[in-house]
Amino acid sequence: MSLHLITGIGGFIGSSIARALLDRGEQVRGVDNFATGRRENIAGILNLIEFREADILDLDAMRQACAAVDYVFHEAAIPSVPKSVLDPLGSNRANVDATVSLLVAARDAGVKRVVYASSSSAYGDTPTLPKHESMTPSPISPYAVAKLASEHYMISFYRCYGLQTVALRYFNIFGPQQDPSSPYSGVLAKFITQMLRGEQPTIFGDGEQSRDFTYIDNAVAANLLACAAPAAEVAGQVFNVATGRRVTLLETFHVLQKLTGYSGPPAYAAERSGDVKHSLADISRAKKHLGYNPTVTFEEGLRQTVEWYRTQARPQTSDLRPQTSHGSSP
């Protein structure tokens, strides 16, 4: 049994990795400052993990968090293109400075490996599809620059200090528990909750932008593989984590109409600054070196996600019970 530290354990991806590790009987320690993570995401596992409320920028707290740790999954971030356009300094602090702080603490604690949540946004708007790891990155938004800079820090810490690091370029991860409540939330979490409530979603741009939307279970599997793969295959390397298929936002909207029962049209607004038009991954490198193979398709993942949000929207049984002393039913 190994001890795993997850930064951003209150986030949708961090908490999903935590549950997968616990299912395997592993030990989990988590940190979060709840800047974007949510307490309810870890409420169900709080008694099974060691949790510390801390900011990764706090080097002393990170040194304590890394003590005796074997593996780190660095998921903490402010994961938003538009938020970074509004606040590049805040994005840099949370997505770059915090990464360096964590890496210093992990290096000094003798951590075996750090697996990093990077982003497909690093590729930017280059015309070539699919995106392969050997392509020259061309980030557009401050968020994309920050994620790429942290990737380079990962590689640097491997080359300069021998700390094993693996960067996973996530391609639009989605699934249950993704926070839909912020204007910066991922489009699928937003659209699903809006459409289930009968509210009109807004498409930024013409809806022809495309994404390689990747279900959370595939991303979790990639993380576990990146942790276990031989160092010679993965240390100091970057891998796409995706499905290798893309859909446009308009196509996605139509699938969601069927799944949610929302029959109205979408609203349209101006394209977002910093937005990438098309995103599609070549996943052959992850297949070859990590043994990664996405097992949940976009459609199946979307179906499961809609079902999860539908359950959340439904009133609890206790809410339906009459509030009298005789009213409770078995």
Kindly state the smallest distance separating residue 19's Cβ from ligand UD2, in Å: 21
CB-nearer residue toward ligand UD2: 30 or 139: 139
Which range touches ligand UD2 (CB under 6 A), out of 48-56, 87-95, 158-166, 201-209? 201-209
Task: Count the Cβ atoms, other than its own, within 10 Å of residue 160.
Answer: 9
Q: Is 121 in the site for ligand UD2 (CB under 6 A)?
A: yes
- State whether the Cα torsion 17-19-21-23 is positive or negative: negative
If you write DSSP's letter for every residue of 80-136 in order, what string do you get? -HHHHHH-HHHHHIIIIIHHHHHHHHHHHHT-SEEEEEEEGGGGTT-S-SSB-TTSP
Kindly state the smallest distance separating residue 58's Cβ from ligand UD2, in Å: 24
Instruction: Convert residues 78-107 into a mask of x (bound to ligand UD2 by CB under 6 A) and - (unbound).
Output: -xxx--------------------------
Amino acid symbol at 100 = V
Please, which of residues 249-308 interact with ligand UD2 by CB under 6 A? 249, 272, 275-276, 279
CA distance from start to end of the chain: 42
Kindly state the smallest distance separating residue 39's Cβ from ligand UD2, in Å: 21
| b/e map 183-218, b = 16+ CB within 10 Å | ebbbbbbbbbbbbbeeeebebbeebebbbbbbbbbb
Q: Is 243 in the site for ligand UD2 (CB under 6 A)?
A: no
Considering only 170, 215, 262, 309, the residue that binds ligand UD2 (CB under 6 A) is 170
Please state, in angstroms and rounded to a whole number, the distance separating the CA atoms of residues 96 and 94. Answer: 6
Q: Is 150 in the site for ligand UD2 (CB under 6 A)?
A: no
Considering only 6, 17, 56, 187, the residue that binds ligand UD2 (CB under 6 A) is 187
Residues that bind ligand UD2 in the complex, under the rule CB under 6 A = 79-81, 119-121, 170-172, 186-187, 190, 202-204, 209, 211, 249, 272, 275-276, 279
